[in-house]
Amino acid sequence: MAVVHSGSSGGLELPENVMVGQLDALANWCRKNSLWPMPFATACCGIELMATGAAKHDLARFGAEVFRFSPRQCDLMIVAGRVVMKMLPVLQRIWQQMHEPKWCISMGACASTGGVFDTYAVVQGIDRFIPVDMYVPGCPPRPEQLIQAIIDLQDKIQREGTITGREFDTAGRQLRKRALVEMAGPLTSDASRNPMLQRELAAAADAVAAKT
Amino acid sequence: MPSMPLAVDDILAGLAARCGAVETSVFRGQTRVVVPEPRSFEALAWLKEQGFDLLIDVTCVDYLEYPGAKHRYGLVYLLVSTATNCRLTVRVFVDDPDPTVKSVVPLWAAANWLEREVWDLFGIRFSGHPDLRRLVMPQEFTAHPLRKDYPLQGRGERHNFPIITRDHS
Amino acid sequence: MSIATPEFGTAGPEAGARSEDYLWTLNFGPQHPATHTTLRLVLKLDGERVVDAMPEMGYLHSGFEKIGEHLSFNQYVTVTDRMNYISPMANNVAWHGAVETLLGIELTPRCTYIRTIIAELARISDHLLSNGAVGLDTGAFTFFLYGFYQREVIYDIFETLCGARFTNSYTRVGGASHDFTPLVIEKIRIFLKNFPKTLNDMERLLTRNRIFVDRTKGVGVLTKEEAINGGATGPVARASGVTRDLRKDDPYLAYGDLDFQVCCASAGDCYSRYLVRMQEMRESLRIVAQALENLPAGPVDVGIGQRVARPTKQQVYSTIEGTISHFELSMSNRGFEVPHEESYAATEAPNGELGFYIVGDGSENAYRARCRPPSVLHFALFPQLIRGHTLSDVVAVLGSLNIIAAELDR
Ligand code: SF4
Contact across the interface for A176 and B163, Cβ inside 8 Å: no
Q: Which of A160-174, C98-112, C190-204 has the lowest mean pLDDT?
A: A160-174
C40-46/C24-28 β-pairing: antiparallel
Distance, in Å, from the CA atom of A136 to the CA atom of C137, rounded to the nearest integer, reads 29
Task: Tell which wins on pLDDT, B167 or C264.
Answer: C264
Q: Does C154 touch chain A (CB under 8 A)?
A: no
Whose CA is closest to C205, among C123, C145, C122? C145
When comparing pLDDT for C333 and C186, which is higher?
Answer: C186
Q: What's the total number of domains in chain A?
A: 2
Question: Cβ–Cβ of A194/B154 closer than 8 Å?
Answer: no
Of A103, A113, A162, nearest in space to A136 by CA: A113
**DSSP at B142:** -
A153 and A80 in a common domain: yes
Average pLDDT over residues C154-181: 86
Cα of A187 vs centre of ligand 1, distance in Å, is 25
Q: Is residue A15 part of a domain?
A: no
Question: Is it true that the peptide bond before A186 is cis, omega within 30 degrees of 0?
Answer: no
Assess whether A196 and A139 both reside in one domain. no
Angstroms from B128 CA to nearest CA on chain C: 14
- Residue C141 confidence (pLDDT) above 70: yes
Tell me what pLDDT residue A8 has.
47
**Residue A140 in contact with partner chain C when CB distance is under 8 A:** yes
Option in C31, C59, C149 nearest A86 (CB): C59
Contact flag A42-C33 (C-beta cutoff 8 Å): no
Q: Check if B46 contacts C (Cβ < 8 Å).
A: no
Residues 123-162 in B contacting A (C-alpha not used; CB under 8 Å) = 136-138, 140-142, 145, 150-162
What is the mean pLDDT, run by run of 10 residues, along chain B of 169 residues? 58 76 79 84 84 87 84 88 85 86 87 89 87 84 85 78 73
Report the separation in Å between the CA atom of A42 and the middle of ligand 1, taken as the mean of its atom positions.
Answer: 9
Amino acid found at A62? F
Within this chain, do residues A126 and A80 fall inside the same structural domain, yes or no? yes
Chain A hits for B168, CB-CB cut-off 8 Å, are 96, 176-177, 179-180
Q: What is the pLDDT of residue C1?
A: 39
User: Does A119 contact C at CB distance below 8 Å?
Assistant: yes
Residues A61 and A161 in one domain: yes
Q: Which residues of A touch C155 (CB under 8 A)?
A: 51
Tens of pLDDT, residues C342-368: 889 888 888 888 889 998 888 888 888
CA C130 centroid distance within chain? 11
- State which residue of chain A sits closest to C133, comparing Cα positions: A50
H-helix or E-strand containing A104?
A: strand A103-107
Contact list, C229 vs chain B (CB under 8 Å) = 53, 108-110
Q: What sign has the CA pseudo-torsion A120, A124, A128, A131?
A: positive
Mean pLDDT over A174-185 rounds to 53
Indicate which residue's Cα is closest to atom 6 of ligand 1: A110
- A120 in reach of chain C (CB within 8 A): yes
Contact between C155 and C165 under an 8 Å Cβ cutoff? The reply is yes
The mean predicted confidence, pLDDT, of chain C is 83
CA of A43 to the centre of ligand 1 (A): 7
Q: Are residue A85 and residue A164 in the same domain, yes or no?
A: yes
Q: Residue range C88-96: average pLDDT?
A: 89
pLDDT category of residue A3 using cuts at 50, 70 and 90? very low
CATH number for C64-302+335-409 (one of 3.30.70.100, 3.40.1390.30, 3.40.50.2300, 1.10.645.10): it is: 1.10.645.10
Query: Above pLDDT 90, what percent of chain C?
Result: 4
Q: Which helix (H) or strand (E) holds B45?
A: helix B40-49
Q: pLDDT at residue C15 above 70? A: no
Q: Is A23 on the interface with C (CB under 8 A)?
A: no
pLDDT of residue A175: 60
Query: For residue A60, is pLDDT > 70?
Result: yes
pLDDT computed for residue A29 by the predictor: 84
CATH code: domain of residue A71:
3.40.50.12280
Q: List the single range of B81-85, C281-285, C289-293, C374-378 with lowest mean pLDDT.
A: B81-85
Query: Where does B8-153 sit in CATH, by number?
Result: 3.30.460.80
A93 and A192 part of one domain: no
The model's confidence at residue A168, banded by pLDDT at 50, 70 and 90, is low
Residues A92 and A147 in one domain: yes
Same domain assignment for residues A99 and A183 = no
SS3 assignment, position A79: strand
Do both A113 and A160 map to the same domain? yes
Q: Which residues, at least 6 apart from C374, have a Cβ–Cβ distance to it below 8 Å? A: C232, C233, C234, C236, C349, C351, C352, C353, C354, C407
Distance C83 CA to ligand 1 centre (A): 10
DSSP annotation of B5 reads P
Q: Work out the minimum CA distance from B114 to partner chain A, whole angstroms.
A: 19
* Contact state of A54 with C79 under an 8 Å Cβ cutoff: no
Q: Which residues pair with B75 in a beta bridge?
A: B60, B92
* Residue nearest atom 8 of ligand 1, based on CA coordinates: A44
Distance from CA of B97 to the nearest CA of C (A): 22
Torsion of CA B146, B147, B153, B155, to 10 degrees: -120
Residues A134 and A62 reside in one and the same domain = yes
Residue A207 has pLDDT above 60, yes or no: yes
Please state, as a whole number, how many other Cβ atoms lie within 10 Å of the Cβ of residue C55.
22
Asked if residue A114 is part of any domain, the answer here is yes
C60 touches A: beta carbon within 8 Å:
yes
Boundaries of domain holding A194: 175-211
C partners (3+ CB pairs within 8 A) are A, B
- Residue A12 covered by a domain: no
Name the residue facing B168 among A177, A184, A189 (closest C-beta). Answer: A177
Parallel, antiparallel or unpaired: strands A103-107 and A134-136: parallel
| Sign of the CA dihedral with C136 first, then C142, C145, and C146 last | negative
Rg (C-alpha) for chain A, rounded Å, is: 21
Distance to chain A for B141, nearest Cα, Å: 5
B2 touching A (Cβ < 8 Å): no
Q: Do A191 and B156 touch (CB under 8 A)?
A: yes
Beta-bridge partners for B34: B23, B91
Q: Is a pLDDT exceeding 80 seen at residue A165?
A: no
The domain spans of chain C are: 64-302+335-409
The domain locations on chain B are 8-153
Confirm if C347 and C354 have CB atoms less than 8 A apart. yes
What average pLDDT does this structure show over A26-40?
84
Most confident of A161-170, B160-169, C141-150: C141-150
Is A25 part of any domain? no
Residue B148 Cα, gap to closest chain A Cα (Å): 13
> Does the model's pTM come out above 0.90?
no
Neighbours of C383 (CB within 10 A): 18
Residues A189 and A104 in one domain: no
Contact C231 B54 (CB under 8 A): yes
Structural domain includes residue A2:
no
**pLDDT recorded at residue A188:** 57
Q: Which amino acid is at B88?
A: L
Pocket of ligand 1 (CB under 6 A): A 43-45, 81-82, 108-110, 115, 139-140; C 82, 167
Please report the beta strands in C159-291, taking only residues with DSSP state E, as ranges in sequence order: 171-172, 175-176
CA of C129 to the centre of ligand 1 (A): 18
Q: Are C83 and C355 in contact (CB under 8 A)?
A: no
Q: What is the mean pLDDT of chain A?
A: 77
Average pLDDT of span C74-88: 86
The answer to whether the CB atoms of B109 and C226 lie below 8 A apart is yes
Same domain, A145 and A99: yes
Alpha carbon of C123 to ligand 1 centroid (Å): 21
Query: Would you call B85 an interface residue with chain A, using a CB distance cutoff of 8 Å?
Result: no
